[in-house]
């Protein structure tokens, strides 16, 4: 696998040193080290590592809470701990941790876990992109549908004909269909506002004339 920039957050100095050596021998770069969760978050903001190795039991901010924050920053985490209780593993899974290592960590287990964690994170990123694309497509379909409804009402045509009119106009203006739809929706909203304001102004004028 490719070389990764890895952040280590571990409050035991000797353990941190051992892990750094294992990572460097495997061709990875240790871009930052610290002994508590809050500092790990700050370093992650500065360094944007490919992966973070986090001890669960750290001062100030534990590893699981740190992993939760890093997940929001699109940085995957692998947990390091001397504990293997099920409730700790469950907490780690609930914050989308990509791997779990029980200390003392062997070189073989470390490399295998990093490889699996990196692959799992790529899958998570792919799903995130697909969800974002789906949301964008649904939002665009909604705007186009609103634009068609506007044309149906204005031109007294079928929805299919309104769609064809939009396609022809988008081609004539050399703009994407969604851009034309946005202009139609925004323009229709502006017209509606102007009409409403004119009605309010007209009503106010009638009241004024009546009392005069």
Q: Is the pLDDT of residue 209 over 80?
A: no
The pLDDT of residue 85: 67
Residue-wise pLDDT tens digits, 98-146: 888 888 899 999 999 999 999 888 888 888 788 888 888 888 899 989 8
Please give the model's pTM, rounded to 2 decimal places.
Answer: 0.63
Per-residue confidence band for 58, with pLDDT thresholds at 50, 70 and 90 = confident
* Residue 40 or residue 128, greater confidence: 40
Domain parsing of the chain, residue ranges? 5-105, 137-211
Residue-wise pLDDT tens digits, 148-180: 888 888 878 888 888 888 888 888 888 888 888
The pLDDT of residue 172: 83
The pLDDT of residue 205: 52
The pLDDT of residue 155: 79
Share of the chain above pLDDT 70, in %: 84
Q: Is the pLDDT of residue 83 over 80?
A: no
Q: Which class would CATH give 5-105?
A: alpha beta
Distance CA 76, CA 148 (A): 43
CATH 1.10.10.10 fits 137-211, yes or no: yes
Distance CA 98, CA 109 (A): 14
Q: Is the pLDDT of residue 212 over 60?
A: no
Task: Catalogue the long-range contacts made by 204-211 (C-beta closer than 8 Å, 24 or more residues apart).
Answer: none
Distance CA 106, CA 2 (A): 20
Q: How far is CA 117 from CA 47, 49, 145, in A?
A: 19, 14, 42
Q: Is the pLDDT of residue 194 over 50?
A: no
Distance CA 41, CA 153 (A): 54
């Amino acid at each position: 696998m490719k070389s990764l920039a890895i952040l280590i957050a571990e409050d035991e100095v000797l353990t941190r040193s051992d892990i750094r050596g294992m990572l460097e021998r495997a061709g990875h770069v240790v871009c930052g080290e610290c002994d508590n969760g809050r500092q790990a978050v700050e370093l992650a903001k500065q360094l944007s590592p490919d992966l973070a190795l986090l001890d669960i039991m750290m001062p100030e901010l534990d590893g699981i809470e740190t992993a939760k924050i890093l997940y929001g920053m699109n940085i995957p985490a692998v947990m390091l701990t001397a504990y293997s209780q099920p409730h700790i593993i469950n907490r780690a899974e609930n914050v989308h941790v990509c791997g779990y290592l029980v200390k003392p960590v062997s070189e073989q287990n470390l490399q295998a876990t990093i490889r699996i964690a990196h692959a799992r994170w790529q899958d998570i990123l792919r799903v995130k992109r697909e969800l974002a694309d789906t949301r964008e497509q649904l939002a665009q379909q909604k705007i186009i549908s609103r634009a068609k409804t506007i044309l149906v009402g204005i031109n007294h045509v079928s929805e299919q004909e309104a769609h064809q009119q939009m396609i022809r106009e988008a081609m004539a203006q050399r703009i994407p269909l969604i851009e034309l739809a946005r202009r139609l929706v925004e323009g229709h909203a502006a017209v509606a506002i102007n009409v409403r304001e004119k009605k309010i102004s007209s009503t106010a004028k009638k009241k004024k004339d009546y009392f005069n």
